[in-house]
Amino acid sequence: MFARSFVHQSSRQVSRHGSWVCNPHRAARGSLLLRTYASSANAPLAEKFAVNGDRLWEDIHYTAQWSAPSPGGLTRLCATEHDKHARDWFRDQVLALGADYKVNATGTQFAVFPGEDSSIAPIAMGSHLDSVATGGKFDGPLGVIGGLEVIRSMKEQGVKTRAPLVLINWTNEEGARFFPLLGSSIVYAGQSTVAEAHASLSNDHSGITMGSELAKIGYVGDGPNTFQEFPISAHFEIHVEQSTDLEKAGKPVGWVEGWQGMTWYSLELTGEDGHANTYKMYGRRDALQGAAKIITAVEALAYKHNGDSTVTNIISGPWGACNIQSNTKVSFCLMHKEAEGQLAMGSDIEKQIKGIAALHGLELKLKRDIYVPPGDFWPEAIDCVKRACGDKGIGSRTGTGHDSTMTTTLVPTAMVFVRAKDGISHSAKEWSDKDDCTEGALALGKAVLNFDELMKTKK
Amino acid sequence: MFARSFVHQSSRQVSRHGSWVCNPHRAARGSLLLRTYASSANAPLAEKFAVNGDRLWEDIHYTAQWSAPSPGGLTRLCATEHDKHARDWFRDQVLALGADYKVNATGTQFAVFPGEDSSIAPIAMGSHLDSVATGGKFDGPLGVIGGLEVIRSMKEQGVKTRAPLVLINWTNEEGARFFPLLGSSIVYAGQSTVAEAHASLSNDHSGITMGSELAKIGYVGDGPNTFQEFPISAHFEIHVEQSTDLEKAGKPVGWVEGWQGMTWYSLELTGEDGHANTYKMYGRRDALQGAAKIITAVEALAYKHNGDSTVTNIISGPWGACNIQSNTKVSFCLMHKEAEGQLAMGSDIEKQIKGIAALHGLELKLKRDIYVPPGDFWPEAIDCVKRACGDKGIGSRTGTGHDSTMTTTLVPTAMVFVRAKDGISHSAKEWSDKDDCTEGALALGKAVLNFDELMKTKK
């Protein structure tokens, strides 16, 4: 089976606690495929394909009602009641379209639509309906609802692919409520387990887990959890750009060629309890003072190495108005376009953190939770998106991780970017125009049809 | 009435949001009283008085069972179930001793025991049974249970004062669960209101209030809330020293002459939401980066001004692994032995905070919540404690606030310090030996008897 043949060529492995293993033959092989199958024209079915931009736009805004209060934005944290509403709505839509529907143990929803040949693994379109705490209406939902629009339009237009299609709503891509991120696609990619995902702890340190919260909303299902159980042939995803390359180029869409390197760290500093008023300064073991110096160092690190960095979480205790802080936890991420720079940032900050902890007499637990070196999507998949975009697009790169960053370890994967106003994301101000969303969904549908055609030539 | 006459000489006023108002005549008048009434001998009743150290020690440890898990220490946060257990126990003990018992609207428990002359306002002994999150068994409980031991011993020995006595368990002295601190004694002193105390918010930013939590455990009563409703003649309190002066001098007890200056600030920084991975560094409005620089500045400030400082709380959001922190709240306190130094620290850090907020493009809300300049307890009350301590004690000063810091704005107040191992406090390691606790309770009882005698000579 086609998808399987790609699996064996999978070039990388990502680990929650380790690093990618790169296959030096990968790029060369990809180029070969590209030379073999690339064409500047779209597949015949793709040439005629159209989507309904009004319906897409209405559903993006209709579903945004399922949110905690967030004027203009979206706060639909994973496994909340709001998330349940959006999931139920998704289920109803795909069932109405005749999907073979499953929910897996990490809550991910799969809606399979038959093609002409059910022996082929389906081509996937996927993203996530859950959001960050201060999210916009587009990061995530555009990918899922855009895919839904593609399915609906294909039905209406009698467009039938040879391969089946599967629309996927992945769980906890953001890691906003539960850490680590890519909570379900990482299990699908075989880099983590259902048990680990279920044990993902809430970032508010309340001790609740993703597994228990998914169970509460009735989204622990018996559907497939891994690629081995349910292989796909490829994965395509529309996403807002979260940067300004398209905006500057005056283009509504883009094909995403790859991603920058990203490393997530978490640390815990433990000092000593003491009275806030009566203890002398010298000899204190104040965990929060150590953390403050580390936070400042993480910022300076980005400038020093020409990368980027963000401290994303801090929690410190004991609560109160009259205690020295004896326990402080901090999470941060480092970003760099080049692998060498990313590694240099990591080893630099690790040394600094150890020094600061020692200076303040603090016990340190430091963990590199996730390490993703910079990489490229599959050339044949990129090419399908590139032809789908045509002269409405340019090539771009993503600065962050997506569910596609997991599927690309398995099968041909590429993404469609949609122009985002001022590059703002993870904010209520996140915005893409209706016409740009429409172009994005259209490019997604065409890319899928191009890939289906590509698989025919491969057979 | 005696107490009333002292009220009119009240020398200071503390405000939650303002500053003390000092009466320049206060010190001179205090000295006059001292010259008039001081004597190196204890009152006749005090000379013979004894306490039961075994009973005191057993009750300190017996009541420590009402605590969240805290090996060796005490975690009895205000208005929790653990606090309710301790309060119920206190109620049962004082009722068994025949007290006229009341609970007021802020949960403070008053147990009045008659003297020979019920027209005189009672002499108070008070402290708190609730604790900080990482507390020891002594800070607070020693004061209340020590007072209970004095009452029990007086009963057993047939010692009757002329003034009635009142034993008080004050609510939320620490401000550990609800801010601000001195939660009930500040209302009693007329510097805040019951409504404000009830609205005190939980430090975990969950939005719960002290009023609602006190109601849950059944401790919103109809007893007196203010000095005007229920005047006292004086207030005495035993407390662990929280410093090492007694230990260095080899003395079990001390008379507390005054306190250092303390200022509490809280601030909120508001920046802008954004994606943790995809946003460039320049132009970010990262509230946590601003907060980290402020926290570091608060530490440096102490060394610069020869004072002390502690950052006691931080909370930052939005939660998640993939967002720039757009809202960060920080609380800190500044301590200085001299009023000029304390004010200089405050104005210095206020300027620095404004500069750091501006540098990071952050909106700033900065509030000086509590300002207590250095001050002295009442000489006549100190003298009562000094004579009670005799050659077992030395003079000392406290580095922090107590309920006595509130009552001293109203009536003669002084404190008994008990030697604390290594000066450790607000920690499970907090420790005072049994014999030292016994000496403390004895000094408390003798001080009360000395003051009762002093009031007789005044009449």
What's chain A look like in SS3?
CHHHHHHCCCCCCCCCCCCCCCCCCHHHHHHHHHHHHCCCCCCHHHHHCCCCHHHHHHHHHHHCCCCCCCCCCECCCCCCHHHHHHHHHHHHHHHHCCCEEEEECCCCEEEEECCCCCCCCCEEEEECCCCCCCECCCCCHHHHHHHHHHHHHHHHHCCCCCCCEEEEECCCCCCCCEECCCCCHHHHCCCCCHHHHHCCEECCCCCCEHHHHHHHCCCCCCECCCCCCCCCCEEEEEEECCCCHHHHHCCCEEEEEEECEEEEEEEEEECCCCECCCCCCCCCCCHHHHHHHHHHHHHHHHHHHCCEEEEEEEEEECCCCCECCCEEEEEEEEEECCHHHHHHHHHHHHHHHHHHHHHCCCEEEEEEEEEECCEECCHHHHHHHHHHHHHHEEEEEECCCCHHHHHCCCCCEEEEEECCHHHCCCCCCCCCCHHHHHHHHHHHHHHHHHHHHHHHHHC
Contact A322 B242 (CB under 8 A): no
Question: Which chain B residue's Cα is nearest to A176?
Answer: B320
Exposed, middle or buried, A163 (CB in 10 Å: 0-12/13-18/19+)?
Answer: buried
Best of A312, A352, A359 to disrupt the B interface (most B CBs within 10 Å) is: A312
Mean pLDDT score, B350-378: 97
Q: Where in chain B is the domain with CATH 3.40.630.10?
A: 2-257+378-458
Best of B203, B306, B319 to disrupt the A interface (most A CBs within 10 Å) is: B319
Question: Which chain B residue's Cα is nearest to A132?
Answer: B320
Rounded CA separation B300/A211 (Å): 44
Contact B278 A423 (CB under 8 A): yes
CA distance B14 to chain A (A): 18
For A388-421, the pLDDT digits (tens) are: 999 999 999 999 999 999 999 999 999 999 999 9
Q: Is the pLDDT at B1 greater than 60, yes or no?
A: no
- CB-based contact (8 Å) between B400 and chain A? yes
Count interface pairs A-B at CB distance under 8 A: 244
CA distance B142 to chain A (A): 17
User: Exposure string (b/e) for A385-417, b if CB count within 10 Å is 16 or more?
Assistant: bbbbbeebbbbbbbbbbbbbbbbbbbbbbbbbb
Alpha helices (H) in B41-80, listed in sequence order:
44-48, 53-63
In chain A, residues 241-260 whose CB comes closer than 8 Å to chain B: 242-243, 260
Rounded CA separation B144/B160 (Å): 20
Mean pLDDT score, B264-276: 97
pLDDT of residue A206: 82
- CB-based contact (8 Å) between B320 and chain A? yes
Task: Using 70 as the pLDDT threshold, list the residues of chain A that sit under it.
Answer: 1-39, 459
Best of A137, A173, A305, A319 to disrupt the B interface (most B CBs within 10 Å) is: A319
For B220-264, the pLDDT digits (tens) are: 999 999 999 999 999 999 999 999 999 999 999 999 999 999 999
Question: Which chain A residue's Cα is nearest to B205?
Answer: A319
pLDDT of residue B459: 57
Q: Which of A70, A113, A109, A65 is nearest to A87 (CA)?
A: A109
ipTM of the complex: 0.88
Instruction: State how beta strands B253-259 and B413-418 pair.
Output: antiparallel
Contact A296 B291 (CB under 8 A): no
**Residues of chain A positioned with their CB less than 8 A from the CB of B400:** 275-278, 322
**Residues of chain A positioned with their CB less than 8 A from the CB of B286:** 299, 310-311
pLDDT of residue B321: 86
Contact A314 B273 (CB under 8 A): no
Q: How far is CA B163 from CA A40, A201, B6, B51, B95, in A?
A: 101, 59, 15, 20, 19
The kind and range of the H/E element at B283 are none
For B321-348, the pLDDT digits (tens) are: 899 999 999 999 999 999 999 999 999 9
- CB-based contact (8 Å) between A118 and chain B? no
Would you place residue B30 in the very low, low, confident or very high pLDDT band (cuts 50, 70, 90)?
very low
**Going by CATH, does the domain composed of A262-372 fall within 3.30.1370.100?**
no
Q: Is the pLDDT at B29 greater than 80, yes or no?
A: no
Q: Which of B322, B327, B324 is nearest to B274 (CA)?
A: B324
Q: Which CATH number describes the domain made up of B2-257+378-458?
A: 3.40.630.10
Q: Which of A176, A4, A149 is nearest to A82 (CA)?
A: A176
Q: Which of B397, B404, B394, B436 is nearest to B419 (CA)?
A: B436
The number of residues in chain A equals: 459
Contact A276 B242 (CB under 8 A): no
pLDDT of residue A459: 57
Q: Where in chain A is the domain with CATH 3.40.630.10?
A: 16-257+390-458
The kind and range of the H/E element at B453 are helix B434-458
**Going by CATH, does the domain composed of A16-257+390-458 fall within 3.40.630.10?**
yes
Q: Where in chain B is the domain with CATH 3.30.70.360?
A: 262-372
Q: Is the pLDDT at B14 greater than 50, yes or no?
A: no
